[in-house]
Structure 1
Amino acid sequence: MPRLFTGLEIPEDLAQRLSLLRGGLAGARWIDAENYHVTLRFIGDIDDRTADEIADAMARVRRREFDLQFSGLDSFGSAKPHSIVARIAASRALSELQAEQERIIQRIGLPPEGRKYTPHVTLARLRNTPHRDVADYLALRGGLVAAGLHVARFVLFSSKASTGGGPYVVEQTYPLAEYSEARG
């Protein structure tokens, strides 16, 4: 039974830049740079037939390439911080791609995602890290300066059940229409 999700890959040069933010935070388990990604829709553990249906349905998505920008570092978990993330700035193209995938997944019969979509790249998972330490880390490194991200495709990833952070396997790729085709 595969565990699937759709997402955007992070190019190696950008992943290396983001990986320079590692360190200086007790209780952080840093994600390996090769496992950085932007999740579009977590699907979960499903049977092979449903996985094939999802893969086929995603192939019918028709969207244009687009660019994304990072908007800074943040933490998730208000009562107890559980991760450090690089946030993605609001993007209509990204929101529309994610919403279309959400509709596809629901049409196939899976339940809707219960959480509000917040695009990000998880850099670290936290365990018993005090709020103050997280605040200090973000104050020192919060002015994230990273190149933008050009999105030319999305992918269907699989992962093994684990405590998070990969390894992730690209099962299928779905190219987006090039700018020149989309303009014509």
Structure 2
Amino acid sequence: MIRAFIGIKIPEEITEKIDSFSKEKLKNIKNIKRVEKENLHITLKFLGEIREEEVERIKEELKKISFRKFEIKIKGLGVFPSISNPKVIWIGGESEKIQMLKREIDLHIKNSQINIKKEDDRPFIIHITMGRIKKEGEKESEKIKRLVKENPDFGHFYAEEFILFQSILTPNGPIYKVLEKFLLL
């Protein structure tokens, strides 16, 4: 079994800005684990634990997607699940096209007849996880509220591909291994 997800990698010029910002702004928040810059991404679909033989079926189905490159603006901050009980601090994204690409991916994953154990019924929010709060996030909520109000703008980029990733969990944090890249037109 492998843990997998489909996502969009963030280009280096934007990850550099995010990394500098998060190092500066998150240092005063207790119990937070920053996401390393090489792991910054937008998740389009979390697949969870899948069997190795299912990976090929997923790849074949995703190869059928024909979608044009599109712009994504990276700006603003938010939290999950709420500002009073923050567990995740994230950077927002703006793109109409990404919603359409996500629907295409969802449809093709469904067509692959892979049993995804946990279908997520929450609305899709374009975001890049910047940090995870391990415990007692509510004690830091005032600092986080001030941070979210800053509404930083990290620029924009054109998504030229989406990627099937394997997520390997280690004591030092996850390692994301590219299983397949799918180019956009």
Residues 91-110 of structure 1 mapped to structure 2, 5 A cutoff:
91-109=95-113, 110=115
RMSD value, Cα: 2.0
Structure 1 residue 162: deviation in Å?
5.3
- Report how many aligned residue pairs link the two structures: 176
In structure 1, runs of 5+ residues without a counterpart are 178-184
Deviates more, 1:102-111 or 1:26-35: 102-111
Letter in 2 for 1:139: R
Of 107, 113, 120, 1:113 maps to 120
- Is the aligned partner of 1:134 residue 2:141? yes
Letter in 2 for 1:5: F
Which residue of 2 is the match for residue 167 of structure 1? 175
Checking the alignment, whether the CA contact within 8 Å between 1:73 and 1:138 is kept in structure 2 is no
Structure 1 residue 167: deviation in Å?
1.2
Which residue of 2 is the match for residue 69 of structure 1? 73
Q: Distance in 1 between matches of 2:11 and 2:32?
A: 23
Higher strand proportion (structure 1 or 2): 2
Q: Distance in 2 between matches of 1:20 and 1:134?
A: 22
Residues 27-42 of structure 1 mapped to structure 2, 5 A cutoff:
27-42=31-46
**TM-score between both structures, scaled by the size of structure 2:** 0.87
Residues 139-150 of structure 1 mapped to structure 2, 5 A cutoff:
139-140=146-147, 142-150=150-158
Of 39, 57, 63, 1:59 maps to 63
Q: Report the 3-state secondary structure (helix = DSSP H, G, I; strand = E; otherwise coil) of the residue aligned with 2:122.
A: coil
Which residue of 1 is the match for residue 18 of structure 2? 18
Which residue of 2 is the match for residue 154 of structure 1? 162
Checking the alignment, whether the CA contact within 8 Å between 1:75 and 1:85 is kept in structure 2 is yes
Structure 1 residue 27: deviation in Å?
1.0
Checking the alignment, whether the CA contact within 8 Å between 1:74 and 1:86 is kept in structure 2 is yes
Q: Report the 3-state secondary structure (helix = DSSP H, G, I; strand = E; otherwise coil) of the residue aligned with 2:121.
A: coil
**TM-score between both structures, scaled by the size of structure 1:** 0.87
Residue deviations 1:111-137, cap 9 Å, x none?
433322111000100022443523423
Of 45, 50, 57, 1:46 maps to 50
- Is the aligned partner of 1:80 residue 2:88? no
Q: Distance in 1 between matches of 2:13 and 2:47?
A: 28
Residue deviations 1:51-82, cap 9 Å, x none?
11001111111000000112301111126311
Checking the alignment, whether the CA contact within 8 Å between 2:57 and 2:112 is kept in structure 1 is yes
In structure 2, runs of 5+ residues without a counterpart are none
% identical equivalent positions:
23
